[in-house]
Structure 1
Amino acid sequence: MRILGEDMGIPRSYREAGVDVDRVAEIHRRIAWIAERTFKTRRGRWGEVLIEVGHYAGLIDIGGGKALAMHVDGVGTKILVAQMMGRYDTIGVDCVAMCVNDIICIGAEPVALVDYLVVEEPREDLVVPIMEGLAKGAEEAGVAIVGGETAVMKDIVKGVRDGYGFDLAAMCIGVVDRDKIVYGDRIGIGDCIVGLASSGIHSNGLTLARRILLSRYRIDDYLDEIGCSIGEELLKPTRIYVKPILDV
């Protein structure tokens, strides 16, 4: 049996796709150590940090038995697929999903979000669809977009399509009762695992998936097996799991 990528020059790991995961992990450890040095600034005060860096979200005490959860995330190289396809109305949904889906992992309910959009050029046919996608994702997640930042950085931001380079990220906050925080330390043998169907690749692993698929196909190639083009499949928005999880 031939393994995909064997003797074909197709990457089979993040390392082969150009991402050194060990080096990234080491950098993350250094970042966490530096960040945690600042925890002492709120110790014994309102806003005291409740959880170390490395969980799905940060947590601070806000009194009344409540904690504020915070998470920031982006959509990574899925942006390049959007540029290749010239379609920008779904990438905002991904951005919201990447934030709120992590917030719920610690038991919090997402409530608000701010976005950061940086563009190569201020094009209406780029910015408006992105914002519409953000709004669609926010409505599905039950969060309000309460602000954000839009910056034009032509000298820094580039892409695979001239004039349409951009990056997108957001920061989300949520609220959780302190006695209902999910740390993951109570998972044990005999627990029931419930799986929820995804909507596709989502927004993680796109670097590897993109390089594997585009080494064999064009972005607009139609595949009968999936009923759409490669680009359309890769652009399927990340499923937002807030409502089904909060209903549990």
Structure 2
Amino acid sequence: MDYKEAGVDIEAGRDFVTQIRQDVQSTYRAEVLSGLGGFGGCFELPAGYQQPVLVSGTDGVGTKLKIAQELSHHDTVGIDLVAMCVNDILTSGAEPLFFLDYLATGKLEPQELAQVVKGVAEGCRLSGCALLGGETAEMPGFYQLGEYDIAGFCVGVVEKSQLLDCSQVEIGDVAIGLASAGVHSNGFSLVRKIVSSGGFSWSDTPEVLAGKTLGEELLTPTKIYVRSVLDALKQGITIHGMAHITGGGLPENLPRCLSPNQSIEVNFDSWDILPIFRWLAEAGEVSQNAMLETFNLGIGFVVIVSSEQADTTKKWFESQGIAAYEIGKVTEGDGSLVLN
């Protein structure tokens, strides 16, 4: 017997590394000190920081991967993976520096998984961070043939004096909601339940989706807000707090950037609910509360600014091609979200 007979193909692993090399190297920043293939990735801290604070985050893509695998559409879930991590650390005001990925599968299919890494590299380019390293695990008997899972790990940096930690948010501040690209990467267990229970197919084209199939719409990658938010800070917009709207929706995530004595009042009618969410609510007979607690409903990221800077902030993000809405304000309270 040898390793290949046990289900692990070393040659396929070498072929995979060869296929992804160019995509990985396309993400390198000047601070990268090591190449692909080492035991560890080396990265030099950028110059100019007086008290640099490193901010880290990790996440996955969840059962959205099941749709990608059923449709053999693998080149966007890597963007999702990066987005889930870099948008998280962005809420501290951090610039993403480098990213690591972990990919596990039952049988390594180099061309298929190279498409996944291609998406990871694209996400890194969109957020300005280097794909510094990763791990690919072939695990026969643990994953079924055709199945894979991915996880990501990101490190960023922010000047200590500019670190956002909830203490900067003030009563009277305004919440500016930035539009999502769709469902992003949360709530897909419910999405898949709605589709399977209702007898729908990923190739169905509901009228509200204007010709797009359910599969195409649902595999739209998570929007990466890094460059537009960091550029807003460079333009002199003072952001007091930020929230990445992921699992738990606005009710769970928006209060995470508040102090204990604060709440936030949100006007549910202040932004456009995307058609895919209307379809999911109707097809699955999902209540408004359940929709709010599961999905982003069209708001993927929120920045908290003073009322004086609200209009300027909205115009800035709109100039970057991101729809922005004044969705609420900070009030005295108990750290909760109040829906109006």
TM over 0.5: yes
Q: Deviations over 1:172-224 (max 9, x none)?
A: 00000111111123323211211111100100111112212332211221122
Residues 113 and 170 of structure 1 are in contact (CA less than 8 Å); yes or no, is this contact kept in structure 2? Answer: yes
Q: Does 1:87 align with 2:69?
A: no
Residues 101 and 241 of structure 1 are in contact (CA less than 8 Å); yes or no, is this contact kept in structure 2? Answer: yes
Residues 126 and 164 of structure 1 are in contact (CA less than 8 Å); yes or no, is this contact kept in structure 2? Answer: no
Ranked by relative contact order (alpha carbons within 8 Å, sequence separation 6 or more), the top structure is: 1
Correspondence 1:214-229 to 2 at 5 A: 214-216=196-198, 217-226=200-209, 227-229=211-213
Q: Does 1:154 align with 2:154?
A: no
State the AA in 2 paired with 1:241. Y
Q: Which has the larger radius of gyration?
A: 2
* 1:124 aligns with one of 94, 104, 110: 110
SS of the equivalent of 1:222 reads coil
Q: Does 1:230 align with 2:221?
A: no
SS of the equivalent of 1:236 reads coil
Separation in 1, partners of 2:104, 2:185:
19
SS of the equivalent of 1:228 reads coil
Separation in 2, partners of 1:126, 1:120:
13
Q: Does 1:239 align with 2:235?
A: no
Separation in 1, partners of 2:106, 2:205:
30
Separation in 2, partners of 1:108, 1:214:
40
Residues 222 and 228 of structure 1 are in contact (CA less than 8 Å); yes or no, is this contact kept in structure 2? Answer: yes
Q: Does 1:190 align with 2:176?
A: no
Where do 5+ consecutive residues of structure 1 fail to align? 1-62
State the AA in 2 paired with 1:99. C
Correspondence 1:1-248 to 2 at 5 A: 64-158=50-144, 163-216=145-198, 217-226=200-209, 227-248=211-232
State the AA in 2 paired with 1:243. R
Separation in 2, partners of 1:122, 1:237:
24
Q: For residue 273 of structure 2, what is the aligned residue in structure 1?
A: none
Separation in 1, partners of 2:137, 2:162:
38
SS of the equivalent of 1:147 reads strand
SS of the equivalent of 1:193 reads strand
Residues 90 and 130 of structure 1 are in contact (CA less than 8 Å); yes or no, is this contact kept in structure 2? Answer: yes
What percentage of residue pairs aligned between the two structures are identical? 41
Q: Give 1:66 shift.
A: 1.2
Separation in 2, partners of 1:207, 1:245:
30
Q: Give 1:97 shift.
A: 0.3
Instruction: Count the aligned residue pairs.
Output: 182
**TM-align CA RMSD:** 1.3
State the AA in 1 paired with 2:227. K
Large movers: runs of 4+ above 4 Å = none
Residues 100 and 110 of structure 1 are in contact (CA less than 8 Å); yes or no, is this contact kept in structure 2? Answer: yes
Residues 84 and 219 of structure 1 are in contact (CA less than 8 Å); yes or no, is this contact kept in structure 2? Answer: no
Q: For residue 3 of structure 1, what is the aligned residue in structure 2?
A: none
Q: For structure 1, which segment, 123-132 or 164-173, has the greater mean C-alpha deviation from structure 2 after superposition?
A: 123-132
Q: For structure 1, which segment, 66-75 or 179-188, has the greater mean C-alpha deviation from structure 2 after superposition?
A: 179-188
SS of the equivalent of 1:173 reads strand
Separation in 2, partners of 1:214, 1:112:
38
Separation in 2, partners of 1:81, 1:126:
14
State the AA in 2 paired with 1:189. I
Which TM-score applies when normalising by structure 2?
0.52
Which TM-score applies when normalising by structure 1?
0.70
Separation in 1, partners of 2:213, 2:106:
27
Q: Deviations over 1:46-81 (max 9, x none)?
A: xxxxxxxxxxxxxxxxx9411001111110111101
